Amino acid sequence: MFQSPEYCRTLSLKLSEVLEDVGVNEKMVMKRRKMFMLRESLGTIMLRSTGEKRTLYHLGSQIEGTTTIGLRSDLDTVIVDYDYNVIQDWAEWEQSKINLLMIQDENVTPGYCFLQLLRSDEPLFETNIPDEHYIRDSNGRILLKNTFVILLIDENIERHGPSNAISRNDEYCDLDIVIAYPCNSRLQSVSQFLERPGVMRWLLSESVRYAASCDCFVVGTSSKIARYPELEWRISTSVPERCLMFNLNITQLQCYVLMKIFLKTFLNAQNVSALSSFMCKTVLLHCVENTKQNIWKRDNLFTCLSYCLLELHSYIQNENCPHFIISDNNLMAGQFTAEEKRDVLQKLCDMIQSDGKCLLRISMDNISHRLQVKLSSFVHIVCNIPTSLEIHEDRSSQLFINLMTGISGGILVFNNYLSNDHICYLKQIILRLTYYSIRGNKLEQLAIRYLLPFLSSTLGLTTASTRIGENYPVPYEALKWLTFGLNSDVTSGRLKLASMFYCVGDMDRAEFILRQTESRYNSFIVEPVCGCWPHPWTRRSAEFKRKCSELSENYINSITSCCVIFMQTEVNCVPRELRYEMMRSTQDDMPYRSMFEILWMNYAVVDSLPYIYFLQYKTYGYLQRHQDQQRALSNLAKVSFTGKNFGHRETALNLLGQCMEQEDKPRGALQCYMLSFQHRERNNAAKFHICNLLRKYVSSPI
């Protein structure tokens, strides 16, 4: 840190270029924010339209844009439950809600609180313990234990304090899900924070007003130094903090990313619990508040980073890192042993005194190599390191896939909310969404524009199936809803319509739609999407990535193909061969369903491309176009064995096996069913097909 100004300026500019190359640039940051804000709107709309009084928030590095491939940041998701009412004043009590009085006294760590239960019929203290989630303290108060907030746990979920961590594959970031309860009024600490001179100088007045209106909530976790750890609830100001992060410039964001990279590379290399990225964020926000904005620029990045590291060193030395908004809350209280503190301080000193040389020891995101190339006066050939364009395209495609996966998975959640009167309930949901689209902001309108076609297809096919089951013709209303759903994505809405025409025997129209759908599926651009479960994936096509990089989120449904989901209520519009998937599980299989699989295991779900070729095979057979039928069978076999990124390959193989049976090729059929088992050992309809195949050929004459 004692190098010449020119050295610092050059290093700063090159370091900023490196970070821009690995995705921390204004274009990617804005794209991330738009995509995750859209996902957030989708999640909240889905919850609200099904009658849930809940709001979904995405928080942390993914939505802030402060992450890289190497950091592998989680997606922090908070679901705020408005059936609960956390109050600070009796005037905020609401009848028929679960009212909880926030208590902050000498027994509670600053930044935390106890929650005392109040009566729901009148504003009085509750005197009876309702269930095992509450406890009576020494003062006679009925307090809610923080262990109450526990989500469904299965083998894919790991508890991290108040959250449930869901580990997914490399394409999808891991999820940290937290249930929270809303604070009904603005916290005093938030009001005091917004009046601080440094904050007023930093934020625009409209940002201050927005931060003041943001939700605060409580989450079920205690501090490290809690006297009563099972009773403390942390007061969360994550949404106002997100507003602050959205107001940082790109240099400030890059500085934060570098701090996190240092944290992961050097400081927490052996002791992962010593420091957290939230502490780094807090240090950065304090530094931004206490300095002039004009120092935070690209050619001063290294100096800004050094300043932040010095501040972090000071906080650790004093074991006091005040929460940026709730200043009484010391984030470092009880965090370090003496040995850990000594170790972290020594590492920090080494980093600060290295004058930037420690940057050349960072392997994450190839930062060391990239920086050396940029600082060198010679031209180097960089092998096996993605270019900035490749990284941008790769990140953009992941954002697109994640968004469409969220939509597809959300439709599954919708389906599981449907009551016995599916048609009436679906109409109510569509009416609610239409109402929201009028009142909502641009993001909410776009989210609803994506949801409505999927729901329209489901409503149309459910209506058609019901009428077919009653031996009536398909009504015009069903065709109208199915038409509205044609552009849900490239294929799935059209395949539902084709499936209905096939099942009612209108083969000419079924063939016409299938031919159209096949022509729309450009395999060089269109990519399959499945939101049912975090399945294995291979690299997306280069053309798809390029499109994701060039297009905005408005065009996502023009380059993605979702799996086709048929519910039990749509059974009369499902080919006989596919109906077996609705009965895939024996009683022994049931316990082997994960939390993801519970949502769709009772449905028939198939990837779009194999289903196109399967329906073509069946349709051309009825039309006696044998050459076209064999072409469809060949295509079905090809994609079933070699198609990429399918979520339901076992279903494609089961359909292919039944086609092979129709072709009187029992060995080929058996091979398909056995391969299907390799992809899914449990909850697989292949077991029924094998039994039927053996029964058919064992009982036949020799």
State yes or no: pLDDT of 170 exceeds 60: no
Strand residue runs (E) in 133-214 = 134-136, 142-144, 157-160, 163-166, 175-182
H-type alpha helices, 54-195: 61-64, 188-194
Q: What is the DSSP string of 363-388?
A: -GGGHHHHHHHHH-SS-----S---H
Q: What is the mean pLDDT of residues 424-435?
A: 88
Pick the closest to residue 565 from 608, 614, 605 (CA basis).
605
Backbone angles phi, psi at 358, to 5 degrees: -65, -25
Give the chain's length: 702
Helix (H) or strand (E) holding 75: strand 75-81
Residue 562: helix, strand or coil by DSSP? strand
- Assess whether pLDDT exceeds 90 at residue 152: no
What is the DSSP code string of 200-220?
HHHS-HHHHHHHHHS--EEES
Q: What is the pLDDT of residues 327-384, one digit of tens each?
A: 999 999 988 888 889 999 999 999 999 989 999 999 999 999 999 999 886 555 556 7
Burial 575-586 (b: 16+ CB within 10 A, else e): bebbebbbebbe
- Which residues have CB under 8 Å from 449's CB, separation 6+? 437
Residue 498 vs residue 426, higher pLDDT: 498
> Taking Cα atoms as reference points, which of 73, 24, 61, 22 lies closest to residue 368?
22
Task: Report how far residue 475's alpha carbon sits from residue 468's, in angstroms, rounded to the nearest whole number.
Answer: 9
Question: Is residue 164's pLDDT more than 90?
Answer: no
Give the Cα separation of 476 and 473 in Å (integer). 9
Tokens at 243, concatenated: 């507003």
Task: Say how far apart CA 109 and CA 326 lie, in whole Å.
Answer: 12
Question: What pLDDT digit, counting tens, does each position of 598-625 carry?
Answer: 889 999 999 999 999 999 999 999 999 9
Distances from the Cα of 693 to the Cαs of 617, 641, 697, 699, in angstroms? 20, 21, 6, 10
Cα(610)–Cα(638) distance, rounded to whole angstroms? 9
- Does pLDDT of 570 surpass 50? yes
Catalogue all structural domains in the chain, each as residue range(s) with its CATH number: 5-25+53-375 (1.10.1410.40), 26-52+386-574 (no CATH), 609-702 (1.25.40)
CA 163 to chain centre: 14
Report how far residue 620's alpha carbon sits from residue 511's, in angstroms, rounded to the nearest whole number.
Answer: 8
Q: Which amino acid is at 648?
A: H
Tell me: the pLDDT tens digits for 222-271?
999 999 999 999 999 999 999 999 999 999 999 999 999 999 999 875 65
CA distance 387 to 41: 33
Give the largest Cα separation in the chain, rounded: 94
Residue in the structure block whose two tokens are 């969220």: 406
Contact, 183 vs 113, CB < 8 A?
no
Q: What is the mean pLDDT of residues 43-59?
A: 90
C-beta separation of 461 from 496 below 8 A: yes
Beta carbons within 10 angstroms of residue 321's beta carbon: 25
User: Measured between alpha carbons, how far is 323 from 187 in angstroms, rounded to an integer?
Assistant: 14
Q: Does the pLDDT of residue 150 top 70, yes or no? A: no
Coil vs helix vs strand at 135 = strand
Residue 481: CA count within 13 A, CB half-sphere: 22
Task: Please give the torsion angle defined by the CA atoms of residues 463, 467, 469 and 471, in that order, rounded to the nearest 10 degrees.
Answer: -170
How far is Cα of residue 288 from the mean position of the Cα atoms in its chain? 30
What three-state secondary structure class fits 187? coil
pLDDT of residue 420: 65
Tell me which DSSP letter residue 177 carries.
Answer: E
The three-class DSSP label of residue 109 is coil
Distance CA 241, CA 128 (A): 38
388-392, 416-420, 667-671: which range is least confident on average? 416-420
**Secondary structure (3-state) at 527:** strand
Q: Which of 493, 472, 492 is nearest to 481 (CA)?
A: 493
pLDDT of residue 700: 61
Nearest 5°: phi and psi at 25? Answer: -135, 165
Quote the crossing angle between the two packed helices 5-21 and 250-262, to the nearest 10°: 90
Q: Are 502 and 619 in contact (CB under 8 A)?
A: yes
Q: How far apart are CA 336 and CA 303, in angstroms?
A: 28
According to DSSP, the β-strands at 163-166 and 157-160 are: antiparallel
On the 0-12 / 13-18 / 19+ scale of CB atoms within 10 A, 311 is middle
Please say if the pLDDT value at position 50 is more than 90. Answer: no
Query: What mean pLDDT value characterizes the chain?
Result: 90
Please tell me the distance from the alpha carbon of residue 603 to that of residue 578, in angstroms, as a whole number.
10
In sequence order, which residues have a C-beta less than 8 Å from that of residue 556 and are 6 or more positions away? Answer: 400, 403, 404, 450
Residue 125 tokens read as 């203290």
Rounded to the nearest 5 degrees, what angle is found at the Cα of 419, between the Cα atoms of 417 and 424?
110
For residue 165, is pLDDT > 90? Answer: no
Segment 162-174 mean pLDDT: 52
Handedness of CA 196, 201, 203, 205 (dihedral sign): positive
SS (H, E, C) 591-654: HHCCCCHHHCCCCEEECHHHHHHHHHHHHHHHCCCHHHHHHHHHHHHHHHHHCCCCCCHHHHHH
